[in-house]
């Protein structure tokens, strides 16, 4: 009887271990598709922000700015060494050759979205401030780190 309980216990431990491993380790496919999805979401939210600001719906736009900022922080973990190719990635090898610079740009893009959420309260030219703190960061990163598409 005791023997049986021991076997069942061991089995349960092995089962829960293998579950927690598979929950933590994302596959290359999940990582590449995951980062593409986050960039696409940021793009959709960026367009929504522009539309909202055009009609002066500043408070409605702010949570979207925070969301983009948070996504950029998550994205810092979405470029491990083993995800340089496959699954139609447009990520360029230059990312891994200049990882510090790439991460700094990602961090800046995130910080700038927080700055934007403050700047819109007082900015006279909403278009200019969006260009400076939101859209400008997309192109400066894409120019160096994303393949032409």
How many other C-beta atoms can be found within 10 angstroms of the C-beta atom of residue 112? 20
Q: How far, CA to CA in Å, does 4 sit from each of 77, 94, 106? A: 43, 56, 54
Binding site for ligand HEC (CB under 6 A): 32, 35-36, 39-40, 42-43, 46, 89-91, 102, 105-106, 109, 134, 137-138, 141-142, 145-146
CB of 4 to ligand HEC, least distance (A): 50
How far is Cα 46 from Cα 102, in angstroms, rounded to an integer?
21
Residue among 122, 116, 139 nearest 43 (CA):
139
CB of 72 to ligand HEC, least distance (A): 7
The residue (of 3 and 143) whose beta carbon lies closer to ligand HEC is 143
The residue (of 40 and 56) whose beta carbon lies closer to ligand HEC is 40
């Amino acid at each position: 009887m005791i023997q049986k309980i021991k076997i069942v216990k061991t089995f349960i431990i092995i089962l829960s271990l293998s579950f927690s491993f598979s929950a933590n380790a994302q596959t290359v496919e999940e990582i590449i598709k995951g980062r593409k999805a986050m960039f696409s979401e940021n793009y959709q939210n960026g367009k929504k922000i522009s539309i909202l600001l055009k009609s002066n719906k500043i408070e409605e736009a702010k949570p979207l700015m925070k969301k983009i900022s948070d996504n950029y922080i998550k994205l810092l973990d979405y470029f491990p060494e083993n995800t340089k190719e496959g699954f139609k990635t447009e990520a360029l090898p230059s990312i891994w050759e200049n990882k510090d610079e790439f991460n700094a740009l990602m961090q800046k893009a995130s910080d700038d979205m927080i700055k934007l959420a403050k700047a819109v309260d007082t900015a006279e030219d909403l278009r200019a401030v969006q260009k400076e703190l939101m859209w400008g960061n997309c192109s400066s990163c894409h120019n160096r780190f994303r393949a032409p598409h």
